[in-house]
Amino acid sequence: MLLLGLDPGLRNTGWGLVEAAGNRLRQVADGVVHSDQALSLAERLAQLHRGVAEIVARFAPDEAAVEETFVNRNPASTLKLGQARGAVLLAPALAGVPVAEYSPALVKKSLVGTGRADKIQVAAMVRLLLPGCLVGGGDAADALAVAICHAHHRATARRMAEAAS
């Protein structure tokens, strides 16, 4: 099962692909889609969408997972992040890839054990859980963390559904 994790941001959107086979996880690829700050908001959103759509077309993931938007003190920044998130969510959805969403706190808690972990702790756990992984930056590490979180939670949901039937 190939899982795409996405960490949306207007400047940088991290992405990471993880192959899940039972309880074993393996990093496939990761990176960052950048938008040009000199462009209009609409053009930047189009860049993000095209970049993620290219990743989806290239790797054909079975499922995707996106980190939810956190609300910060600046409403304008939160709104722009939400718009970037929408552009990112749309790419796998239009390709027919199921998309799950996870809060930042749940992603951190799933990997580190606490929802208040910092980026350094998350990146360290990504490297521990994906042996041999050379993460391409903080945004890519966060995206891989989202993919790992999805791998753990989708397996649990599947086992619960099987037990109920």
Tokens in use for 41? Answer: 């908001």
> What amino acid is encoded at 121 in this protein?
Q
CA 125 – CA 110 distance, rounded (Å): 10
Per the CB < 8 A criterion, the answer to whether 95 and 35 are in contact is no
118 has catalytic annotation: no
Q: Which of 30, 63, 139, 142 is catalytic?
A: 139
136: exposed, middle or buried (Cβ count in 10 Å: 0-12, 13-18, 19+): middle
Does residue 7 have an active-site annotation? yes
**Which of the residues 7, 30, 63, 142 is marked catalytic?**
7
Residue among 19, 67, 118, 142 flagged as catalytic: 67
Is 62 noted as a catalytic residue in this protein?
no
Residues 18 and 161: their CA atoms lie apart, in Å, by: 23
Active site residues: 7, 67, 139
